[in-house]
Amino acid sequence: MALVRITGLTKYFNDHKAVDNISLATREGEFLVLLGPSGCGKTTLLRMIAGLEKPSSGEVVIGGRVVNDLPPRVRNIAMVFQSYALYPHMTVFKNISFPLRALKMEKEKINEKVEWAAQMFGIEQLLNRKPRELSGGERQRVALARAMVRMPSVFLLDEPLSNLDAKLRASAREELQQFQRQIGITTIYVTHDQVEAMGLGNRIVVMNHGKVRQIGTPWEVYHEPADTFVATFVGSPPMNLTEQGDVLVGFRPESFLPLEVNQGHGELKQFEFEVSLVEDLGGDRLIYGRLDEQFGRQRVVSRFAPNINFPIEAGRTHLFTVPEGKVKLFDRQTGVRIEKNIPAGEPDGRD
Amino acid sequence: MADFRKLRKQASIYGVATFFTIFCAFPFYWMLITTFKRDSDLFNPTNDPFILNAAPTLDHLRVLFFHTLFLRYLLNTFVVGAAVVIITLLVAVPAAYSLTRWAGRWGEGLGIGIFLTYLVPPTLLFIPLSRVVAFFGLTESIGSLILVYPTFTIPFCTWLLMGFFKSIPPDIEEQALIDGYSRLGALVKVVLPLSISGLLTVVVFAFTLSMQEFIYALAFISVSAQKTVSIGVPTELVRGDVFRWGPLMAAALVASIPVAILYTFFLDRFIAGFTMGAIK
């Protein structure tokens, strides 16, 4: 087990700054997720930790040792690529034992370890097959088994679930989390899928344009976003943002509910909401519409949980509210969160 | 109706295939029958040239094997071919690998530049190269050919291998680096096994190129015992304007048999699809 600490890490590709002065540290046995849109530098960051990419400046420390100039093979890390990168000319057994053979381990010990890893991922019956004879889910398990087999000090995963179909992805996500907890290896996981990040991570690092926007638990990132990027990137549908003077007022669709529903939840901020579309997702209902003139007829979304039976239809205007505690304010120019109360406006509704 | 259409389609496929088979096989047939034809049959203009008109004979093969140094030529050809193949692999594999993986956007241009040197004709090069050969003291020996042939096999094979290395996803190599291997280890354990069809193509190519080469061999070697098949046969069996067609054809036939076997044996290895299933 080891900690990964990064200080002032920067990477240029020609003139393009892919990673911009990033500092962060993992905790022991933590599942840390790097989340961001494609091209935000998260994979480059991971590759620098792995040693596949040389940092332009800054330091990577794994287990207390500066590894900047060390090749990947001596960093004692394991990595699973998005493509799984199985060796097509080797059987599953050979694939899994490949890292062990690099260590010049004894044959019996190799057999023992491969068996252990294969058992853990339920692929014992596939050991004699070649990668091309496996399904997507099986390939993913083989890649994980190969990464796990030599007990690395850090486990790096680059979007390992993105090649699986939606159904398989959900179950693979759950299994992955179980394995990680069981083994307790510090894991850094790269994804652009916020659902995956929320579900898997102990902490999430939200990145954009090569910079860290926020580091926090899934709860913090979702409920207390540091800026408008995080607020709109995490959550589906994203946080509603409306302009009011110099500030942007943000609130999550599920806190934006009719007055009647929100009553009893403390101080409420009120909005006139003209409903234009109601989307029934089976469980939840999504209500699309516009706010009144005071908020520049801004488009917003509301999300009704299944237990909210409030009748609503398109074309009508309702009085919607957000509990004061759920309203987040951001600077209009910089998008950074402002920690103060809502500016004077309409008197707040009270019960 | 459908049956008729299907039949017509099959007939046309087989028709085309038959035509090309005959087209390609005819020279070999010609070599074969000429090898076993008596001279009286061969040089009689009233005979049907496409069949044996008299009983077959082994005279031409006897002349070839016992009155010329044909076996020696075969051995020389094989030695030169093998040496050239080894030298080519030793140089072209690392060259192609570094050009594809490390030279960045220059790699492609450099690769094509190297390939272009292959197009400079030997007729221009054999005079300066004869000085080089003389400098190394290799005149009148197969050593001169082992020195000179790689000048055209290496450029071509480097370019050829670049294509194969490019088709291997970098992920697989990086995975090997992470799994505990050095660059060289990854090359030997992962890249080379995956480009086996490319390597075999290089072997066959370098071997056949050096086997059929004529100009350098003619320019550098005149001692009979050092000749290869490609110059030994025409210089020893064509005397002035007398062409000894029987032994000539016999030599061509015998020399082509090992090559034919080599190609047939490796044919299925050439068929790609080897890297399928590596990713996704």
Same domain flag for B53 and B77: no
Give A145's contacts in chain B (Cβ within 8 Å).
none
Q: What is the pLDDT along chain B (280 residues), one digit of tens a residue?
A: 668 888 999 999 999 999 999 999 999 999 999 999 998 888 888 888 888 888 899 999 999 999 889 999 999 999 999 999 999 999 999 999 999 888 777 888 888 888 888 888 888 888 999 999 999 999 899 999 999 999 999 998 998 898 889 888 999 999 999 999 999 999 999 999 988 888 888 888 898 889 889 999 999 999 989 999 999 999 888 888 888 899 999 999 998 888 888 777 766 655 543 343 334 3
In a domain? residue B201: yes
Q: Judge whether B245 and B267 are in contact, CB under 8 Å.
A: no
Nearest chain A residue (CA) to B191: A87
Q: Which CATH number fits domain A4-223: 2.60.40.10, 1.10.287.610, 3.40.50.300, 3.90.950.20?
A: 3.40.50.300
* pLDDT score recorded for residue B261: 83
Same domain flag for B39 and B154: no
In a domain? residue B62: no
Distance between A115 CA and the closest CA of chain B, angstroms: 18
Whether omega before A238 lies within 30 degrees of 0, making that bond cis, reads: no
In a domain? residue B118: yes
In a domain? residue B63: no
The dihedral of CA A36, A40, A44, A45: what is its sign?
Answer: negative
Same domain flag for B79 and B53: no
- Chain B CB within 8 Å of residue A98 CB: yes
Based on the structure, what is the number of domains in chain B?
2
CATH 2.40.50.140-classified regions of chain A: 239-338
Which residues sit opposite A9 in a β-bridge?
Answer: A22
CA end-to-end span of chain B:
44
Strand A328-331 and strand A337-338: the pairing is antiparallel
A 10 A CB-CB count for A150 gives: 20
Range of the domain at B82: 68-270
Residues 231-260 of chain B whose Cβ lies under 8 A from any Cβ of chain A: none
Same domain flag for B202 and B245: yes
In a domain? residue B278: no
Q: What CATH code is carried by the domain that includes residue B108? A: 1.10.3720.10
- For A81, the token pair is 């690529």
Say which CATH superfamily domain A239-338 falls into.
Nucleic acid-binding proteins (2.40.50.140)
Angle at A144 between CA A140 and CA A145, to 5 degrees: 115
- Chain B CB within 8 Å of residue A178 CB: no
Q: How many CA atoms lie within 13 A of A125 on its CB side?
A: 3
Query: How many Cβ contacts (< 8 angstroms) between chains A and B?
Result: 83
Distance between A151 CA and the closest CA of chain B, angstroms: 12
Give phi and psi for A96, each to the nearest 5. Answer: -70, -35
* pLDDT score recorded for residue B270: 54
Q: Answer yes or no: do B276 and A88 touch at CB < 8 A.
A: yes
Same domain flag for B9 and B139: no
In a domain? residue B210: yes
C-alpha span between B116 and B155 (Å, rounded): 8
Give A150's contacts in chain B (Cβ within 8 Å).
180
Distance between B167 CA and the closest CA of chain A, angstroms: 13
Of B177, B194, B277, the CB nearest to A71: B177
CATH 3.40.50.300-classified regions of chain A: 4-223
In a domain? residue B232: yes
Of B180, B193, B278, the CB nearest to A86: B278
Same domain flag for B143 and B120: yes
Q: Judge whether B146 and B83 are in contact, CB under 8 Å.
A: yes
Same domain flag for B24 and B129: no
Same domain flag for B102 and B23: no
- For B21, the token pair is 């088979």
Q: What is the pLDDT along chain A (351 residues), one digit of tens a residue?
A: 678 999 999 999 988 999 999 999 999 889 999 999 998 999 999 999 999 999 999 999 998 999 999 999 999 999 999 999 999 989 999 999 999 999 999 999 999 999 999 988 889 999 999 999 998 889 988 999 999 898 899 999 999 888 888 888 888 888 888 888 888 899 999 999 999 999 999 999 999 999 999 999 999 999 999 999 999 999 989 999 998 888 899 999 999 999 888 888 888 988 999 999 999 998 899 999 999 888 888 899 999 999 988 888 888 999 999 998 899 999 988 889 987 443 433 333 333
Q: Does ipTM come in above 0.85?
A: no
Give phi and psi for A220, each to the nearest 5. Answer: -60, -45
Residue with tokens 């991971």: A46
Same domain flag for B155 and B76: yes
At A111, which amino acid appears? N
Q: Answer yes or no: do B275 and A50 touch at CB < 8 A.
A: no
Same domain flag for B39 and B158: no
Same domain flag for B10 and B146: no
Residue A136: strand, helix, or coil: helix
A100-137 burial, b at 16+ Cβ within 10 Å, e below that, comes to bebeebeeeebeebbeebbebbebeebbebbbeebeeb
Q: Pick the residue of B171, B172, B175, B187 with the most A CBs within 10 A to test the interface with A by mutation.
A: B175
Non-local CB neighbours of A195 within 8 Å, separated by 6+ positions:
A236
Same domain flag for B240 and B125: yes
Quick: pLDDT tens for B123-134: 888 899 999 999
A 10 A CB-CB count for A341 gives: 10
- Chain B CB within 8 Å of residue A12 CB: no
Residues 115-144 of chain A whose Cβ lies under 8 A from any Cβ of chain B: 130-134, 136
In a domain? residue B246: yes
Q: Pick the residue of A13, A44, A46, A73 with the most B CBs within 10 A to test the interface with B by mutation.
A: A73
